[in-house]
Amino acid sequence: MSKKYISEKEGRRLICEIGRRMFAKNFVAANDGNISVLLSPRKVLCTPTGTSKGFMEEEDLIIIDMQGSVIRGHKEPSSEMKMHLEVYKQNPNVSAVVHAHPVNATALAVAGIPLTEPILTESVVVVGEIPLAPYATAGTDEVADAVRPLCKDYNGALLANHGAVVWAEDLMKAWYRMESLEQTAEIYIKSRFILGKANTLSTEDVSKLKKRYDIK
């Protein structure tokens, strides 16, 4: 099956839109977070470093190659783009990556708790099991090393003492996955740790859902 790529125009529009939503939902502070999408097998449109995701203009975005070198644009890529590139390299089905620091998902990441219990339909269908990637020093190759083993079998990861990253076949799907991940994390924390009781879906419920939505 050949992969469909988004046009550069639509990619710029959608990344800025997702950046605004990310900022509005308090998923990022200061210049945190980054968003990228594949324009072709070797070209990635992404957010630049040092820019608030809530106030990006389409021309602020840059295009990099698979080694992270800038092909087009005036700004520098975020050092976290190494993590995005690693996901693209490891999983040929992925066309978009979204990274943010949403409070609840990040709280789990700080506590060292993965988001793997099936508590909601969304946590099975939209998000899937989200494992915890080990702590990695920001800006180093450790970040790519930490997510490498998880790229093929999961839809995202909690990054220990850092935040969350998700990936998908297209940008909006990746964004919705981040939204659902954060909501699942909040409900999980409230039920499991505040109320002290989280009834999980049974193995049978989970397999029925997976069958219904054609999830492996």
**46-54, 162-170, 185-193, 198-206 -> range binding Zn ion (CB under 5 A):** 162-170
**22-30, 63-71, 147-155, 163-171 -> range binding Zn ion (CB under 5 A):** 163-171
* Residue 124 CB contacts under 8 Å (≥ 6 apart), including other chains: 118, 201, 206, 209, 210, 215
Region of residue 81 (phi > 0: left; psi between -120 and 50: alpha; otherwise: beta):
alpha
User: Does 163 engage in binding with Zn ion (CB under 5 A)?
Assistant: yes
User: Does 128 engage in binding with Zn ion (CB under 5 A)?
Assistant: no
Site string for Zn ion, 172-211 (x = CB under 5 A): ----------------------------------------
Structure tokens at 205: 């419920």
Distance of alpha carbon 140 from alpha carbon 133, whole angstroms? 15
**What is the 3 state secondary structure string of 128-157?**
CCECEECCCCCCCCHHHHHHHHHCCCCCEE
User: Does 77 engage in binding with Zn ion (CB under 5 A)?
Assistant: no
Give the residue from 166, 172, 175, 167 showing the smallest Cα distance to 6.
172
Using DSSP, state whether 161 is helix, strand or coil: coil
- Which residue number is nearest to Zn ion in terms of Cβ? 163
Residue closer to Zn ion, measured from CB, 11 or 163: 163
Residue closer to Zn ion, measured from CB, 63 or 81: 81
Residue closer to Zn ion, measured from CB, 97 or 124: 97
Nearest distance in Å: CB 192, Zn ion: 25
Interface size with Zn ion, residues (CB under 5 A) = 1
Residues that bind Zn ion (CB under 5 A): 163
